[in-house]
Amino acid sequence: MSLITEITAPDGHKVTLNTGLFINNEFVAGSSTIDTINPATGKVLASVQAAEAKEVDLAVEAAHKAFYGGWKTSNPRERARLMLKLADLVERDGEDLAHLETLDNGKPLSNSRRGDIPGVANQLRYFAGFCDKLHGKVIETEGKLSYTVHEPIGVCGGIIPWNGPMLMLAWKIAPAIATSNTIVIKTSELTPLSALKIAALIKEAGFPPGVINIITGYGPKAGEALSRHMKVSKIAFTGSLATGRAIMKAAAETNLKKVTLELGGKSPNIIFDDVDNLDEVVFWSRLGIYANAGQVCCAGSRIYVQEGIYDKFVEKFKALALSGKVGNPFEEDTFQGPQISEGQFNRIMNYIDIGKKEGATCYLGGNKVGDAGYFIEPTIFTDVKPDMRIMKEEIFGPVVAISKFKDVDDVVAQANDTTYGLAAAVHTSNITRAITISNALEAGSIWVNCYNIITENSPFGGYKQSGIGRENGEYALANYTQIKAIKINVGNPI
């Protein structure tokens, strides 16, 4: 049985892909297959091999063997060289990867090219720089030589979502490999294609067998098996709150593996009436909610506008929302592509109905776009109340609720009135106010006079039920290392 397939994009670009499970540097068959769907058309793109418990065990055993077979004590410069080589290959095959990402996920091709490809390469290069900089400390302790060393954890598991497949793959792989761990990645069953292409590049870059393994499978089968595997010492997950809880439970019931979680959000975007340029605020606010068709964990889905400029903001925001083309992600002028799946489409439309029934005003949108695919109009709700579900629950789509506020205390209380705490934004020309509000908001990332600025060198993660731990930046390294303290008696008498 051949695992090779050729996929042709609407613009004629062809990509040849191995659809097997990438285990021990080889593509192998799985227990079953999964059809991956083009969300812009609703049609099957390819059939990929799917892992169940048996294949998860093979991947973990390969990673375990690689870790104790030399990778644990690998030369830091060699790890860095391999990571830098992989970054070069990602850029070399950027067109193939961008086309696969857009076909599988639905995001505009321009975004895949200009955001995701550089983002993956930058992530690999940034963490490659840490390979030879994992230093401990010498500690003065009463005549004993005391020092610490940072050691790798072992076999790591990574479970990545469908809304940013390539970037989330890099977010998990880069810090794990830089710190001498091996890893098994489970992709989303909805978006496996770009990860499989990167798997081939991992082998081409020269990584030893078993160091990086990439499998596709359903959560209840492959994800559960990975989370419960006794030879997996750490799990990193990005996705829903419900799945995050299940992973924590699995870790607790097995070997108490370390867990980092990046979960959902219901992020507030606060706009004061002293902003210098309202058009810029509207630009950032649209990007904050409608980027990636609203399928962003830190999306600014609650916009709070001070009452003095509320009407003007809503008018300008509506006009800009209407100006963004919703449609074929392979057309250069498309701003918003489809939702990822029929199930997600139906979930979002249900929330739109809930908002209407609860008494909010559907000020803009709320409808399906076109006859094929899973496209939804950019949607704006006004006249919303704090206890409405569209203000409380993560919708994960192009739906925003806009509310007005009077003063600082009022808006901070509303912004923090959520079980989530992933991100927030403040727009003001008053630097003192910006700092004061940023300090008061209960969220892991605060953007001032901008939105959705996420880089490889800054930590990202949540407060409250938005997660545990941080990804990106030097802070991420702590999630992939353990600290050993060594004390040596240097001749002092008992």
CA–CA distance, 167 with 16 (Å, rounded to integer): 21
Note whether 218 and 319 are same-domain residues: no
Percent of the chain with pLDDT over 70: 99
Within 10 angstroms of residue 470's Cβ, the number of other Cβ atoms is: 21
CA–CA distance, 476 with 179 (Å, rounded to integer): 10
Q: Stretch 334-357: mean pLDDT, rounded?
A: 98
pLDDT digits (tens, 9 = 90+) for 162-220: 999 999 999 999 999 999 999 999 999 999 999 999 999 999 999 999 999 999 999 99
Amino acid in position 274: D
Residue 269 to residues 134, 306, 411, 434, 443: CA-CA distances in angstroms? 37, 11, 10, 12, 12
Note whether 236 and 194 are same-domain residues: yes
- Residue 490: pLDDT band (50, 70, 90) is confident
Note whether 282 and 186 are same-domain residues: no
Residue with tokens 């803009």: 364
pLDDT digits (tens, 9 = 90+) for 291-331: 999 999 999 999 999 999 999 999 999 999 999 999 999 99
pLDDT the model gives residue 169: 98
Note whether 326 and 370 are same-domain residues: yes
Given a cut of 90, is residue 394 above it in pLDDT?
yes
CA–CA distance, 289 with 265 (Å, rounded to integer): 12
Note whether 233 and 305 are same-domain residues: no
Amino acid in position 460: F
User: Which residues are identified as catalytic?
Assistant: 262
Note whether 257 and 372 are same-domain residues: no
pLDDT digits (tens, 9 = 90+) for 237-264: 999 999 999 999 999 999 999 999 999 9
Nearest CA to 261 out of 161, 145, 118 is that of 161
Q: Is residue 112 part of a domain?
A: yes
pLDDT the model gives residue 265: 97
Sign of the torsion angle spanned by Cα atoms 191, 194, 200, 204: negative
Note whether 285 and 340 are same-domain residues: yes
pLDDT the model gives residue 140: 84
Residue 299, helix vs strand vs coil:
coil
pLDDT the model gives residue 493: 66
Domain that holds residue 30: 4-263+467-483
Nearest CA to 213 out of 64, 411, 367 is that of 64
Contact, 158 vs 206, CB < 8 A?
no
Note whether 276 and 186 are same-domain residues: no
Note whether 258 and 272 are same-domain residues: no
Residue with tokens 């076909």: 103
CA angle 184, 190, 194 (to 5 degrees): 60
Tokens representing 111 are 């975004």
| Residue 392 belongs to domain with CATH number | 3.40.309.10
| Residue 234 belongs to domain with CATH number | 3.40.605.10
Residue with tokens 């989370």: 227
Nearest CA to 186 out of 165, 204, 167, 211 is that of 165
Considering the chain, what is the average pLDDT of its residues?
97
Percent of the chain with pLDDT over 90: 97
Note whether 410 and 396 are same-domain residues: yes
Q: Is residue 461 part of a domain?
A: no
b or e along 232-267 (b: 16 or more beta carbons within 10 Å of the residue's beta carbon)? bbbbbbbbbbebbebbbebbeeeeebbbbbbbbbbb
How many domains are contained in the chain?
Answer: 2
DSSP of 191-216: S-HHHHHHHHHHHHHTPPTTSEEEEE
Residue with tokens 């391999």: 82
Q: Stretch 216-235: mean pLDDT, rounded?
A: 98
Q: Is residue 490 part of a domain?
A: no
Task: Name residues whose C-beta falls within 8 Å of residue 78's C-beta, 6 or more positions apart in sequence.
Answer: none
pLDDT digits (tens, 9 = 90+) for 330-344: 999 999 999 999 999
How long is the chain?
494
Note whether 288 and 208 are same-domain residues: no
Residue 285, helix vs strand vs coil:
helix
Note whether 258 and 172 are same-domain residues: yes
Q: Is residue 48 part of a domain?
A: yes
pLDDT digits (tens, 9 = 90+) for 28-48: 999 999 999 999 999 999 999
Q: Is residue 364 part of a domain?
A: yes
pLDDT the model gives residue 491: 72
Nearest CA to 183 out of 430, 398, 472, 479 is that of 479
Given a cut of 70, is residue 494 above it in pLDDT?
no
Q: Is residue 45 part of a domain?
A: yes
Q: Is residue 462 part of a domain?
A: no
Q: Is residue 494 part of a domain?
A: no
